[in-house]
Amino acid sequence: MSDKPVTYELTIKEFEAIAGTTKRLVRKGKRLEIRIPSGVDNGTKVVLPNALKMTDGKAGDILILIKVSPVESLNTQSGTTTDVIFRTCLREIGGAGNSDIRRYVERSSLVISRDEFFQAVIWTVWVSGMSRKAAAGFRRNNEEKFRNIDFMNFAALDILQLEAFMESLHSKPVRQRAKQKWQAIHYIAKWLNNFSSDESFRYEVFQGKYKGSDLDETDALRLKDLRFPFVRATNASYLVKTLGGKAVKDDRWVKELFEWGKIGLGELETKLQAFRIPLSFFDTVFWCYCEMFIRRTELFQEHFDDKFGFLKN
Protein backbone atom coordinates (compact mmCIF):
# COMPACT_ATOMS: atom_id res chain seq x y z
CA MET A 1 0.00 0.00 0.00
CA SER A 2 1.44 3.39 -0.98
CA ASP A 3 1.60 6.45 1.26
CA LYS A 4 -0.11 9.76 0.56
CA PRO A 5 1.74 11.65 -2.21
CA VAL A 6 4.25 14.30 -1.21
CA THR A 7 3.78 17.65 -2.96
CA TYR A 8 6.41 20.24 -3.92
CA GLU A 9 5.97 23.59 -5.62
CA LEU A 10 8.31 24.45 -8.48
CA THR A 11 8.45 27.91 -10.09
CA ILE A 12 9.64 28.05 -13.68
CA LYS A 13 10.00 30.86 -16.20
CA GLU A 14 7.39 31.35 -18.88
CA PHE A 15 9.76 30.37 -21.66
CA GLU A 16 10.47 27.10 -19.80
CA ALA A 17 6.72 26.45 -19.56
CA ILE A 18 6.38 27.11 -23.28
CA ALA A 19 9.34 25.05 -24.49
CA GLY A 20 9.61 22.44 -21.73
CA THR A 21 12.58 21.95 -19.44
CA THR A 22 14.31 19.62 -16.99
CA LYS A 23 14.76 20.42 -13.30
CA ARG A 24 16.22 18.58 -10.31
CA LEU A 25 14.70 17.93 -6.91
CA VAL A 26 16.76 16.88 -3.90
CA ARG A 27 14.91 14.95 -1.19
CA LYS A 28 16.70 13.26 1.68
CA GLY A 29 19.98 13.39 -0.17
CA LYS A 30 18.55 11.80 -3.31
CA ARG A 31 18.41 13.64 -6.63
CA LEU A 32 15.37 13.29 -8.84
CA GLU A 33 15.07 14.55 -12.41
CA ILE A 34 11.81 16.33 -13.25
CA ARG A 35 10.93 16.54 -16.91
CA ILE A 36 8.51 19.42 -17.50
CA PRO A 37 6.69 18.92 -20.83
CA SER A 38 6.18 21.82 -23.22
CA GLY A 39 2.99 23.83 -22.95
CA VAL A 40 2.35 23.47 -19.20
CA ASP A 41 0.20 26.06 -17.45
CA ASN A 42 0.26 27.64 -14.03
CA GLY A 43 -1.10 25.00 -11.63
CA THR A 44 -0.16 21.97 -13.76
CA LYS A 45 0.78 18.92 -11.69
CA VAL A 46 3.65 16.69 -12.78
CA VAL A 47 3.65 13.24 -11.19
CA LEU A 48 6.82 11.33 -10.36
CA PRO A 49 5.36 7.81 -10.01
CA ASN A 50 6.56 5.89 -6.94
CA ALA A 51 9.46 8.33 -6.48
CA LEU A 52 9.21 7.97 -2.69
CA LYS A 53 10.61 4.46 -3.11
CA MET A 54 13.93 6.01 -4.12
CA THR A 55 13.97 8.86 -1.60
CA ASP A 56 12.18 7.42 1.43
CA GLY A 57 12.34 3.69 0.86
CA LYS A 58 8.57 3.35 0.74
CA ALA A 59 5.91 3.33 -1.97
CA GLY A 60 4.34 6.62 -2.99
CA ASP A 61 4.32 9.36 -5.62
CA ILE A 62 5.81 12.83 -5.57
CA LEU A 63 3.63 15.57 -7.07
CA ILE A 64 5.20 18.70 -8.50
CA LEU A 65 2.88 21.72 -8.61
CA ILE A 66 4.08 24.05 -11.36
CA LYS A 67 4.03 27.79 -10.85
CA VAL A 68 4.77 29.84 -13.97
CA SER A 69 6.35 33.26 -13.49
CA PRO A 70 5.42 35.89 -16.11
CA VAL A 71 7.83 37.00 -18.80
CA GLU A 72 10.38 39.17 -17.04
CA SER A 73 10.65 42.89 -17.63
CA LEU A 74 13.86 44.19 -19.12
CA ASN A 75 16.56 44.30 -16.45
CA THR A 76 19.84 45.86 -17.44
CA GLN A 77 21.59 44.30 -14.47
CA SER A 78 20.72 40.64 -14.96
CA GLY A 79 21.43 38.12 -17.70
CA THR A 80 23.82 38.04 -20.60
CA THR A 81 23.28 39.88 -23.88
CA THR A 82 21.59 36.88 -25.48
CA ASP A 83 19.40 36.17 -22.46
CA VAL A 84 18.19 39.78 -22.15
CA ILE A 85 17.45 39.98 -25.88
CA PHE A 86 15.50 36.73 -25.74
CA ARG A 87 13.44 37.67 -22.66
CA THR A 88 12.67 41.12 -24.03
CA CYS A 89 11.61 39.83 -27.45
CA LEU A 90 9.44 37.10 -25.90
CA ARG A 91 7.67 39.62 -23.68
CA GLU A 92 7.02 42.09 -26.48
CA ILE A 93 5.60 39.57 -28.96
CA GLY A 94 3.07 38.44 -26.34
CA GLY A 95 4.70 35.39 -24.77
CA ALA A 96 2.63 32.20 -24.87
CA GLY A 97 -0.29 34.06 -26.48
CA ASN A 98 1.59 34.61 -29.74
CA SER A 99 0.28 32.40 -32.56
CA ASP A 100 3.78 31.46 -33.78
CA ILE A 101 4.72 30.44 -30.23
CA ARG A 102 1.61 28.29 -29.95
CA ARG A 103 2.53 26.62 -33.23
CA TYR A 104 6.05 26.00 -31.90
CA VAL A 105 4.60 24.21 -28.86
CA GLU A 106 2.35 22.05 -31.03
CA ARG A 107 5.35 20.93 -33.09
CA SER A 108 7.40 19.95 -30.04
CA SER A 109 5.60 16.59 -29.65
CA LEU A 110 5.52 15.75 -33.38
CA VAL A 111 6.43 12.20 -34.45
CA ILE A 112 8.41 12.06 -37.69
CA SER A 113 6.51 10.43 -40.54
CA ARG A 114 6.35 10.79 -44.30
CA ASP A 115 3.01 12.62 -43.96
CA GLU A 116 4.40 15.14 -41.46
CA PHE A 117 7.54 15.59 -43.54
CA PHE A 118 5.46 16.24 -46.65
CA GLN A 119 3.34 18.86 -44.89
CA ALA A 120 6.54 20.55 -43.67
CA VAL A 121 7.91 20.45 -47.23
CA ILE A 122 4.81 22.17 -48.61
CA TRP A 123 5.20 25.09 -46.22
CA THR A 124 8.97 25.25 -46.53
CA VAL A 125 8.81 25.45 -50.31
CA TRP A 126 5.82 27.75 -50.46
CA VAL A 127 6.91 30.41 -47.97
CA SER A 128 10.36 30.56 -49.58
CA GLY A 129 11.00 34.16 -50.60
CA MET A 130 7.80 35.47 -49.00
CA SER A 131 7.49 38.31 -46.52
CA ARG A 132 5.92 37.60 -43.12
CA LYS A 133 2.68 39.34 -44.17
CA ALA A 134 2.43 37.36 -47.40
CA ALA A 135 3.33 34.07 -45.70
CA ALA A 136 0.79 34.65 -42.91
CA GLY A 137 -1.97 35.40 -45.41
CA PHE A 138 -1.00 32.42 -47.52
CA ARG A 139 -1.11 30.10 -44.47
CA ARG A 140 -4.46 31.50 -43.34
CA ASN A 141 -6.05 31.03 -46.76
CA ASN A 142 -4.61 27.61 -47.60
CA GLU A 143 -3.77 25.69 -44.42
CA GLU A 144 -6.83 23.45 -44.41
CA LYS A 145 -6.62 22.93 -48.17
CA PHE A 146 -2.97 21.87 -48.00
CA ARG A 147 -3.59 19.62 -44.99
CA ASN A 148 -5.74 17.44 -47.24
CA ILE A 149 -2.96 16.84 -49.79
CA ASP A 150 -1.73 13.28 -49.36
CA PHE A 151 1.83 12.62 -50.55
CA MET A 152 0.94 9.25 -52.10
CA ASN A 153 -1.92 10.65 -54.17
CA PHE A 154 0.10 13.73 -55.06
CA ALA A 155 3.03 11.58 -56.19
CA ALA A 156 0.69 9.65 -58.49
CA LEU A 157 -0.34 12.75 -60.48
CA ASP A 158 0.89 12.83 -64.05
CA ILE A 159 1.91 16.07 -65.81
CA LEU A 160 -1.59 16.93 -67.01
CA GLN A 161 -3.14 16.17 -63.63
CA LEU A 162 -0.51 18.30 -61.90
CA GLU A 163 -1.32 21.17 -64.28
CA ALA A 164 -5.03 20.79 -63.50
CA PHE A 165 -4.28 20.77 -59.76
CA MET A 166 -2.28 24.01 -60.02
CA GLU A 167 -5.01 25.69 -62.07
CA SER A 168 -7.58 24.73 -59.42
CA LEU A 169 -5.60 26.69 -56.78
CA HIS A 170 -4.31 29.63 -58.79
CA SER A 171 -5.76 32.06 -61.25
CA LYS A 172 -4.92 31.35 -64.89
CA PRO A 173 -2.35 31.48 -66.20
CA VAL A 174 -0.42 29.95 -63.28
CA ARG A 175 2.67 32.02 -62.60
CA GLN A 176 6.03 30.43 -63.36
CA ARG A 177 7.22 30.71 -59.76
CA ALA A 178 4.11 28.90 -58.50
CA LYS A 179 4.62 26.18 -61.12
CA GLN A 180 8.22 25.69 -60.03
CA LYS A 181 7.22 25.34 -56.39
CA TRP A 182 4.50 22.77 -57.10
CA GLN A 183 6.84 20.83 -59.37
CA ALA A 184 9.40 20.76 -56.56
CA ILE A 185 6.77 19.51 -54.10
CA HIS A 186 5.66 16.88 -56.62
CA TYR A 187 9.26 15.71 -57.04
CA ILE A 188 9.67 15.32 -53.26
CA ALA A 189 6.32 13.50 -52.99
CA LYS A 190 7.52 10.94 -55.53
CA TRP A 191 10.77 10.55 -53.60
CA LEU A 192 8.83 9.96 -50.35
CA ASN A 193 6.65 7.40 -52.07
CA ASN A 194 9.70 5.23 -52.74
CA PHE A 195 10.05 4.41 -49.03
CA SER A 196 8.22 1.28 -47.92
CA SER A 197 7.35 2.65 -44.46
CA ASP A 198 7.78 5.58 -42.09
CA GLU A 199 10.35 3.53 -40.20
CA SER A 200 12.54 3.04 -43.26
CA PHE A 201 12.16 6.74 -44.07
CA ARG A 202 13.28 7.77 -40.57
CA TYR A 203 16.18 5.33 -40.64
CA GLU A 204 17.56 6.43 -44.00
CA VAL A 205 16.97 10.18 -43.75
CA PHE A 206 17.22 10.92 -40.02
CA GLN A 207 19.30 8.00 -38.71
CA GLY A 208 16.28 6.47 -37.01
CA LYS A 209 15.25 9.54 -34.98
CA TYR A 210 11.62 9.20 -33.96
CA LYS A 211 10.54 12.60 -32.60
CA GLY A 212 10.90 15.90 -34.39
CA SER A 213 12.39 17.42 -31.24
CA ASP A 214 15.40 15.08 -31.67
CA LEU A 215 16.38 16.71 -34.96
CA ASP A 216 19.18 19.27 -35.17
CA GLU A 217 21.52 21.03 -37.60
CA THR A 218 23.19 17.73 -38.60
CA ASP A 219 19.83 16.63 -40.00
CA ALA A 220 19.51 19.94 -41.84
CA LEU A 221 22.90 19.27 -43.45
CA ARG A 222 21.73 15.85 -44.62
CA LEU A 223 18.58 17.36 -46.12
CA LYS A 224 20.64 20.00 -47.89
CA ASP A 225 22.86 17.31 -49.36
CA LEU A 226 19.80 15.65 -50.92
CA ARG A 227 19.69 18.73 -53.20
CA PHE A 228 15.91 19.04 -53.42
CA PRO A 229 14.71 22.06 -55.39
CA PHE A 230 14.00 25.00 -53.03
CA VAL A 231 15.67 23.15 -50.12
CA ARG A 232 19.16 24.55 -49.81
CA ALA A 233 20.94 25.37 -46.53
CA THR A 234 18.54 28.01 -45.19
CA ASN A 235 15.35 26.13 -46.08
CA ALA A 236 16.80 22.81 -44.89
CA SER A 237 17.19 24.36 -41.43
CA TYR A 238 13.68 25.79 -41.66
CA LEU A 239 12.36 22.34 -42.60
CA VAL A 240 14.01 20.78 -39.53
CA LYS A 241 12.61 23.58 -37.38
CA THR A 242 9.12 23.06 -38.85
CA LEU A 243 9.34 19.41 -37.82
CA GLY A 244 10.07 20.51 -34.23
CA GLY A 245 13.85 20.22 -34.38
CA LYS A 246 16.63 22.35 -32.94
CA ALA A 247 17.76 24.52 -35.82
CA VAL A 248 18.09 28.15 -36.80
CA LYS A 249 16.97 29.36 -40.20
CA ASP A 250 19.98 31.39 -41.30
CA ASP A 251 17.78 34.14 -42.69
CA ARG A 252 18.19 37.88 -43.02
CA TRP A 253 17.42 38.61 -39.36
CA VAL A 254 19.87 36.08 -37.97
CA LYS A 255 22.59 37.49 -40.22
CA GLU A 256 21.84 40.98 -38.92
CA LEU A 257 22.05 39.74 -35.32
CA PHE A 258 25.40 38.06 -35.95
CA GLU A 259 26.75 41.28 -37.44
CA TRP A 260 25.36 43.44 -34.61
CA GLY A 261 26.61 41.19 -31.82
CA LYS A 262 29.84 40.13 -33.55
CA ILE A 263 29.04 36.46 -32.85
CA GLY A 264 28.47 33.28 -34.86
CA LEU A 265 26.05 30.38 -34.62
CA GLY A 266 28.33 28.32 -32.36
CA GLU A 267 28.71 31.10 -29.81
CA LEU A 268 24.98 31.84 -29.90
CA GLU A 269 24.15 28.19 -29.24
CA THR A 270 26.62 28.04 -26.32
CA LYS A 271 25.08 31.14 -24.72
CA LEU A 272 21.56 29.74 -25.13
CA GLN A 273 22.53 26.39 -23.63
CA ALA A 274 23.70 28.18 -20.49
CA PHE A 275 20.09 29.30 -19.94
CA ARG A 276 18.52 26.10 -21.33
CA ILE A 277 16.89 28.06 -24.13
CA PRO A 278 16.28 25.80 -27.16
CA LEU A 279 17.95 27.12 -30.28
CA SER A 280 14.82 26.81 -32.41
CA PHE A 281 12.74 28.54 -29.73
CA PHE A 282 15.10 31.52 -29.71
CA ASP A 283 14.93 31.60 -33.50
CA THR A 284 11.11 31.64 -33.46
CA VAL A 285 10.93 34.40 -30.85
CA PHE A 286 13.63 36.50 -32.50
CA TRP A 287 12.07 36.15 -35.97
CA CYS A 288 8.64 37.14 -34.66
CA TYR A 289 10.04 40.21 -32.93
CA CYS A 290 11.97 41.40 -35.97
CA GLU A 291 9.02 40.92 -38.32
CA MET A 292 6.63 42.68 -35.93
CA PHE A 293 8.76 45.63 -34.82
CA ILE A 294 11.61 46.15 -37.32
CA ARG A 295 10.21 44.83 -40.62
CA ARG A 296 13.09 45.99 -42.81
CA THR A 297 16.65 44.73 -42.45
CA GLU A 298 18.18 48.13 -43.19
CA LEU A 299 16.62 49.35 -39.93
CA PHE A 300 17.93 46.48 -37.80
CA GLN A 301 21.28 47.93 -36.64
CA GLU A 302 19.76 51.25 -35.59
CA HIS A 303 16.82 49.57 -33.85
CA PHE A 304 19.04 47.19 -31.90
CA ASP A 305 21.45 49.97 -30.95
CA ASP A 306 18.51 51.96 -29.54
CA LYS A 307 16.92 48.96 -27.82
CA PHE A 308 19.90 46.94 -26.66
CA GLY A 309 22.90 49.21 -27.14
CA PHE A 310 23.44 49.35 -23.36
CA LEU A 311 24.45 45.69 -23.51
CA LYS A 312 27.58 46.63 -25.45
CA ASN A 313 28.81 48.95 -22.71
For the stretch 198-207, pLDDT in tens is 999 999 999 9
Its pTM stands at: 0.74
Return the closest-CA partner of residue 117 out of 244, 271, 226: 244
Q: Cβ atoms within 10 A of the Cβ of 268, count?
A: 20
pLDDT confidence bin for 78, thresholds 50/70/90: very low
Given a cut of 70, whether residue 76 has pLDDT beyond it is no
Q: What is the pLDDT of residue 134?
A: 73
Q: What is the pLDDT of residue 162?
A: 95
Backbone angles phi, psi at 266, to 5 degrees: -60, -45
Q: Cβ atoms within 10 A of the Cβ of 285, count?
A: 28
Q: What is the pLDDT of residue 294?
A: 94
Q: Where are the domains of the chain?
A: 6-69, 81-104+249-312, 109-242
Has domain 109-242 been given CATH number 3.40.50.970?
Answer: no
Which segment, 69-73, 173-177, 193-197, 308-312, is predicted with the most confidence on average?
Answer: 193-197
Q: What is the pLDDT of residue 227?
A: 94
Report the range of poorest mean pLDDT among 71-85, 105-119, 243-257. 71-85
Beta-carbon contacts of residue 258 (< 8 Å; ≥ 6 apart): 264, 265, 268
Return the closest-CA partner of residue 169 out of 192, 151, 149: 149
pLDDT tens digits along 165-204 = 998 888 789 899 989 999 999 999 999 999 999 999 999 9
Return the closest-CA partner of residue 223 out of 200, 241, 197, 210: 241
Given a cut of 90, whether residue 276 has pLDDT beyond it is no
What CA–CA distances, in Å, run from 150 to 90, 98, 125, 169, 175?
35, 29, 16, 16, 23
Has domain 6-69 been given CATH number 1.25.40.10?
Answer: no
- Looking at residue 44, its amino acid is T
Helix, strand or coil, per DSSP, at residue 51: coil
Given a cut of 50, whether residue 222 has pLDDT beyond it is yes
pLDDT confidence bin for 163, thresholds 50/70/90: very high
Helix, strand or coil, per DSSP, at residue 2: coil
Backbone angles phi, psi at 33, to 5 degrees: -95, 130
**C-alpha neighbours within 13 Å on the C-beta side of residue 26:** 1
pLDDT confidence bin for 80, thresholds 50/70/90: low
Dihedral sign, Cα of residue 224, residue 230, residue 233, residue 237:
negative
How far is it between the farthest Cα atoms of the chain? Answer: 74
Task: Kindly report each contact of residues 156-162 with a partner whose C-beta sits within 8 Å and lies 24 or more positions away, as own/partner.
Answer: 156/193, 157/186, 162/186
Q: What is the pLDDT of residue 201?
A: 97
Q: What is the pLDDT of residue 213?
A: 86
